[in-house]
Every structure is written in structure tokens, then in C-alpha cells.
Chains A and B, each alone.
Chain A
Amino acid sequence: MSELLVVEDLQKYFPVTRGLIFQKEVGQVKAVDGVSFTVEKGQTLGVVGESGCGKSTMARCLARLLEPTGGKITFDGREITHLNRSDMRPVRRDMMMVFQDPYASLNARKRVGSIVGEPLEVHGIGTDQDRKRRVQELLEIVGLNPEHYNRFPHEFSGGQRQRIGIARALVINPKLVICDEPVSALDVSVQAQILNLLKDLQQDFDLTYIFIAHDLNVVRHVSDRVMVMYLGKPVETAAKQDLYTDAKHPYTGALLSAVPIADPSAGRARKQIVLTGDVPSPLNPPAACRFHPRCPRFVDGKCNVDEPELTAASGNPDHRFACHFPLERWPMDEDEIRRKPAAYAAATD
């Protein structure tokens, strides 16, 4: 297995300015602040987190739609962190994106044929005839009628538009597809169609996915590895099975327990951890562990002073988490979760 994408300590800071003419930088929003991961060929990395955790900004940095502030991105053996536009162009052939909103991401004034064929055109691949054939082939692959080549996006439903978006991403045979919330705007039955389609395509064309979503059920269904982000930093990363059955970080635990279960008796039986408050502003993030103000395991004098490093779980170097007081097992209920830090505090007093 070889690595397709290696990201080391990726950072993206947005300046906050004041004043109209003489703009003065008064602060920074650290949208992505030190994210590292690798994605193996043919695998899917799921990225989960609440709105504002920096997952979309990260995706945009990877595709170089945004200029990273720091860190290093190595794609297919080549460093692409600071390539200029023209050097980046051939790389873009291998790296495509599928966006969240199938209503906003297709040009309403272009026909499906030219929307899907545009990447071919941009990269100057094939003759008009070749392109048309390729586009029709792709429309068929994603489950649309090739005869819809000359239609406009408004003639399609949300699910069909998302298929068009997928066809466009695949038309030039990319190696990596970055899917930014590709199903969150769709109805459940259509969502299942798209998820199945993405899985089939991955097998057929040996694709590598980065799959960004806020829905843990969806991420679990598609991913091989999962990274949980909170306020611009990864808090836990692990193989799918480990993350969902052996969550270590209290935030991962809270996310998992917040997911509604489509089984009334199981739902009533479990004890949910309900976090209080909202995600803090990334403009002024909490000191040390950024999750500490909402954490059920918060220990004063430790979590708000000493920032936890991303460390590996014992016996599983692949499962990494950033927490001083990781969960002993999963699932746990709220009372058990609070117990350990209390014991710790008593011991240090």
C-alpha cells in the first residue's frame, strides 16, 4: 500500500483586519491549525466535525483553492504546498472535488455536456468528438441518461445534480476525489443511492477519497480511516472500526452519543452525553486543549494549561488522540466519564 497524499502540520490562518483604507491586521482566525495525516491509495479518509471546525477550509487548502499558511502537502510523491498556478495545473488533473450543494455548484447557464466536459477542455484533452463520447460514457457510469447531454441543470433533481457533479469530477480520471459534504443536501433514499454510487466508483476506478461530512453515520459507512476535528485541530484519528468501537477522545464520544439511533428501544436504553454550549470562536480559541470548556472530563490546572499532543494509543500506533484523560472504553455513560478526572484531581490535591 502506498501513500497518495501526505499532509504535515497544515495551517491556514485568515487575517482579521480593521479599517477601510489603512487595513490593520488585528488578529487571526486559525481555521486549520496543525493538521497532519496520510491517505493511502484506494482508501477513504473520513473527516468529521461540527460546523466551523475547519474541515472545508482544509479541503480547499489540499486542492490549493486556498493558499496554506504553513505546513507541507505531498501529493503522489511531489510537494505541492506552494506550487504556482501553472505548475499546479497538471496536478489538478489528478485531484478533483465534489461539492456540497448540487444547486449552487453547477453553472445554471451551461448544458450538462459542457459542465461535465469542462475539465477535459481546460486540460486540452481529446477532440470535441472524443470529449463528447467520454462525457456520455461518464453520464452513463453515474446512472444518468447519456441523452441528457444537452439539458440544463434545472431540469434535474438534487440527486441527479449530485451525479452530474460526480461525473464532472471523474471525467479526467483523477486519483484523488475530495468530497465536501456530498450527500448532506439530499433526501435519505437519494443519499443512499449516491453513497452506493461513490463506493462502486471507488472500486471500479481505484479512487482515493477524502470524505468530509458532519454525519457520523455516513462517514462510518464510507470510510476506512476517520479523523475527528475540533476548532481547526484533529482530536482523534483511527481506523474506522477503532474509532467507532473504541473512541478515546471525549469529544468523539460526545459526537457518537449525540447521533440519533433509528431504534426506539436502543435509543431509550443508552445514556447520552449532551455537550453544553456551542463551538467557541476560532478567533479567540480556548487555551491549551481547545475542547476544555465543553469537556465532561475537564480538569482545572491540567486541560486549560497543558496542551495535549496527538499520541498513539497503547498497542495501536495507528489510533491517535489528543487528550490527557482519554476514555477507558466505549461506550460509557456520562457519570462514568466524569469519574476519572475527579479521581485525578483528588490525587493531586
Chain B
Amino acid sequence: MALLEVTDLHTRFRTDDGIVKAVSGVSFELDRGKTLGVVGESGSGKSVTFLTLMGLVDRRHAEVSGSVRFDGEELLGASGSRLQKIRGRRIGMIFQDPMTSLNPVKRIGWQLEEAVLLHHDVTRDEARRRAVEILKEVEIPRADARIDDYPHQFSGGMRQRVMIAMALINNPEVLIADEPTTALDVTTQAQILRLMTNLQQEHEMAIVMITHDLGVVAELADHVAVMYGGRVVEQAKVDDLFVKPEMPYTWGLLGSLPRLDITAARLEQIPGQPPSLLHPPPGCAFNPRCAYAFDRCREELPELRAGAGVVGEGHRFRCHLSDDERARIWEAKKAALQAEGSAA
């Protein structure tokens, strides 16, 4: 049994303008010690999926349905106090912006100790010892001195490390990281990613890496889910997704990425804008931007399916194009990319 099983999760927000379908039928599984990369653009529902799963959406304005099973226990509809026992203890979360997720008027140490005291019956001294230990683990230099600093005395990369320390201080089984490196420089990003993989191996922790950066996913993830318009549009093992993506949006994402290893005179661009979740287009959410869309795409939502000739276990995607046609289009794209790569 998977550690985390999400089945047919829906989140809808009631707003003055109508109902925003932020998440529509997302399902995935995550095993212990594995990393799931969740890729998508802003508004694809990737963050809301995990806020819902953690019980962090405001239920007064949101309708939530589906099932989230964590270690066999249903989380949707669980009581607030039950969720509090799990959040921060067994499931840790790192938010994107390290500048705004720390309390600016409390010392780093105090904020870390609080996380321990909330879940364990220990003295403040013991909590402090644990806080120094975890700061050392995330490679903050002179941790025992810096623990009494305020967040503004830390650089961006160090603050992000403190956020990781806070999420890890209770040894969670699942770590949900929402764009943990987006605000950082490449060199700092490389440090943080290396740190996360080391800690994962040490603690056999499962990681959900929410990001818009396919490069980060390629480096870190075991499985990938590509989200678009509130739905998972393709999911696969990381190698399968990059070797043979099966759906036009994923092709577009890979083609629009400027890369160090491939020289393209011109990036492939996906025309238009991501869809409005208030008035999503009928049929496949990607159809208005898809170069291969035909009538059926505009009428009928494609199921998440496995195709004939699709290698890779668990590789599923949403697309009405026939298997032959997809194979033909991808072969042509791949050949074009390779021609450019060798020209370079």
C-alpha cells in the first residue's frame, strides 16, 4: 500500500464571479522514500491540490471531495485536531517564499522550538538542542550562535534552509515542497536540492516536489505528474516522461524550455494563455492552445489513459489523438531536436 493515496480529489472555490474549479479529479500515489514531481504553470492547480490534502483550504469557501489516504487513514473530513497531529509531524511542508513564511519578529530558534514543542512533550531546552541539531544538518554555519538571530539576518538561501529545517525537525514521513528553490539563484538551488536528496536518503522520506521547472524535476523526481487546468494531464516515471512524452502540452513544455544541452534557433512556443478555471474551455482544457486539436477535443474531456505502444509502467495521459498519430508527431519533434542538437 502506498504511503499517500489521493483519489479523485476535487477542490472548488465559491467566488463572487462563480465557481473556480481549481482541482478537478486528481489522483496519484506516493511510496515511502520516493519523489513525485508535480509540474505545471501558475493556475494549473498544483499548489491547491496539496493545500487541500493538508486541510489548509478554507472550507467555508471551498467544496472538497474525493479521498486522501495517508498511511491508511482518511484525511479529508478528519477533525482539525487530528490534522494538527499529522501536519508538521508526519507531513512537513515547505512553502515557496522564504521571505514571507518566517515570522520576522521571532528569533529563528524560537520558531524551530515551537515546531518541536507542538508535537512532543519535551522541555524548551530539549527542543532547543533539537533545533541546533537540525540547523547543523541543513548546513547552517555556526548553528549554535545563529539560532538566536532573526530571519532578516539570514540570506535568502539560508532562510530557505531554515524552512527546510522547520519542515524536517519532526522527521516527517512525507515532505511537500512547493517551489522550494524558485526564489533562489542557481548555485543556491543546487545546494538546496542536494541537501534535500541527502536528507531523503537518510530518513527514507517521501517528497512531493511542486515546481514549474522541468530541469528540477528531471534531477530529483522518480515519478512526474504534469498538471494543466486543474487536472493531471500526464503522469509517468521520470525517464519515460522525458524520453517519450505522450501529450501535446508536455511536448510544448519541453520545447519551450531554453536548455544548455540543446541549441534551438527558436523556442517552440505554446500560443495563448493558461485557461481560466472560472470558465474552463469545454472538452480538453488544452484544446485552445493545442496545434493538433480536432472537433472531439473541443467537446469531450479525454480520460487519463494508457495507450497502446506506450512503454513504461503507469504512464498515463489525457489525449484524443490516436496512438499512431502521437507516435508520428513525437518522432518528428525528436528528430528536429536532435538535428539542432548536432548542428550546435
A residues near B (Cβ < 8 Å) are 50-51, 157-160, 187-193, 195-196, 199, 214-218, 220-221, 244, 254-267, 272, 274-279
Distance, CA A158 to CA B193, complexed state (A):
28
Give chain B nearest CB distance to A209 CB in angstroms: 15
- Bound Cα distance from A257 to B186, whole angstroms: 9
Contact of A274 among B191, B214, B217, B239 (CB under 8 A): B191
A188-B261 contact, Cβ under 8 Å, with A262-B215, A262-B242: no
Report chain A residues within 8 Å CB of B185: 50-51, 214, 279
Give residues 240-262 of B contacting A (CB, 8 Å): 242, 252-261
Question: Does B257 lie within 8 Å of A258, measured CB to CB?
Answer: no
What's the Cα separation between A279 and B155 when bound, in Å? 9
Is B338 among interface residues, defined by CB-CB distance under 8 A? Answer: no
Is the Cβ of A256 less than 8 Å from the Cβ of B156?
no
Contacts of B268 in A (CB 8 A): 192
> What does the 1/0 interface line of B262-305 toward A look like (CB < 8 Å)?
00101111110110000000000000000000000000000000
Contacts of B199 in A (CB 8 A): none
Residue of B nearest to A214 (CB): B185
In the complex, the 8 A-B pairs of residues with the closest C-beta atoms, listed nearest first: A260-B215, A192-B256, A258-B190, A221-B258, A189-B270, A187-B41, A50-B185, A192-B267
Q: Is A259 within 8 A of B269, CB to CB?
A: no
Q: How many angstroms from the CA of A166 to the CA of B141 in the assembled complex?
A: 43
Alpha-carbon distance between A51 and B267 when the two chains are bound, in angstroms: 26
Pairwise interchain contact B269-A260, C-beta atoms closer than 8 A: no
| A–B pairs, 23, beta carbons within 8 Å | A160-B273, A188-B257, A189-B252, A189-B274, A190-B41, A192-B256, A196-B269, A199-B266, A215-B258, A217-B258, A218-B258, A258-B186, A260-B215, A261-B215, A261-B218, A261-B219, A261-B261, A262-B214, A262-B218, A263-B218, A264-B238, A277-B141, A278-B188
Q: Quick check: B260 and A190 within 8 Å, CB to CB?
A: no
For chain B, give the interface size range: 35 or more
A187 and B258 contact, Cβ closer than 8 Å, known pairs A255-B187, A260-B219, A261-B215: no
CB-based contact B261/A263 at 8 Å: yes
- 19 extra interface residue pairs, beta carbon distance < 8 Å, beyond A187-B274, A193-B269, A261-B259: A160-B273, A187-B41, A188-B212, A188-B214, A189-B253, A189-B256, A189-B269, A189-B270, A195-B258, A254-B187, A255-B187, A260-B219, A261-B218, A262-B215, A262-B254, A264-B238, A278-B157, A279-B155, A279-B185
Q: In the complex, what's the smallest C-beta–C-beta distance from B40 to chain A, in angstroms? A: 9
Interface of A is mostly: helix
Assess whether B259 is in contact with A262, with CB atoms less than 8 Å apart: yes
B42 in contact with A187 (CB, 8 Å): yes
Closest Cβ of chain B to A117, distance in Å, is: 25
With A195-B258, A258-B186, A260-B215 as contacts: A157 and B238 at CB distance below 8 Å? no
A217-B238 in contact (CB<8A)? no
**Contacts of B188 on A, CB cut-off 8 Å?**
50, 278
Q: How far is the CA of A265 from the CA of B261 in the complex (A)?
A: 12
Min CB distance, B235 to chain A, in Å?
15
Query: In the bound complex, do residue A256 and residue B257 qualify as a contact, i.e. CB atoms below 8 Å apart?
Result: no
Residue of B nearest to A159 (CB): B273
B263 to chain A minimum Cβ distance, whole angstroms, is 8
**B204 beta carbon closer than 8 Å to chain A:** no
Complex contacts, B258 vs chain A, CB 8 Å: 192, 195, 215, 217-218, 220-221
Cβ–Cβ contact A261 & B187, under 8 A: no
Evaluate contact between B253 and A188: CB separation under 8 angstroms: yes
Q: Cβ of A159: which chain B residues have Cβ within 8 Å of it?
A: 273
Shortest Cβ distance from residue A134 to the other chain B in the assembled complex, whole angstroms: 26
Kindly state the separation between the CA atoms of A69 and B72 in the bound complex, as whole angstroms.
Answer: 65
- A244→B270 CA distance, assembly (Å): 27
Which of B194, B217, B252, B260 meets A217, CB within 8 Å? B260
- How far is A227 from B181 in the complex, measured between Cα atoms in Å? 24
Bound-state Cα–Cα, A192 to B186, Å: 19
Is the CB of B216 closer than 8 A to any CB of chain A?
Answer: yes
B5 CB–A CB distance under 8 Å: no
User: What separation, in Å, do the CA atoms of A133 and B144 have in the docked complex?
Assistant: 65
Contact A278 B158 (CB under 8 A): yes
Interchain CB contact under 8 A, A259 and B260: yes
Question: Which residues in A have their C-beta under 8 angstroms from that of B257?
Answer: 188, 192, 217, 262
Query: A216 touching B264 by the CB < 8 A rule?
Result: no
Residues of B within 8 A of A157 (CB): 273
Residue in B186, B238, B267, B274 with the greatest tally of chain A CB atoms within 10 Å: B186
A274 to B269 CA separation, bound complex (whole angstroms): 32
A264-B239 CB under 8 A given contacts A187-B41, A255-B186, A259-B215: yes
Query: In the complex the two chains form, what is the Cα distance from A263 to B190 in whole Å?
Result: 16
Check if B213 is an interface residue, CB within 8 A of chain A.
Answer: yes
Q: A217-B259, A262-B215, A274-B194 are in contact. Are A192 and B273 (CB under 8 A)?
A: no
Closest to B39 in A: A188
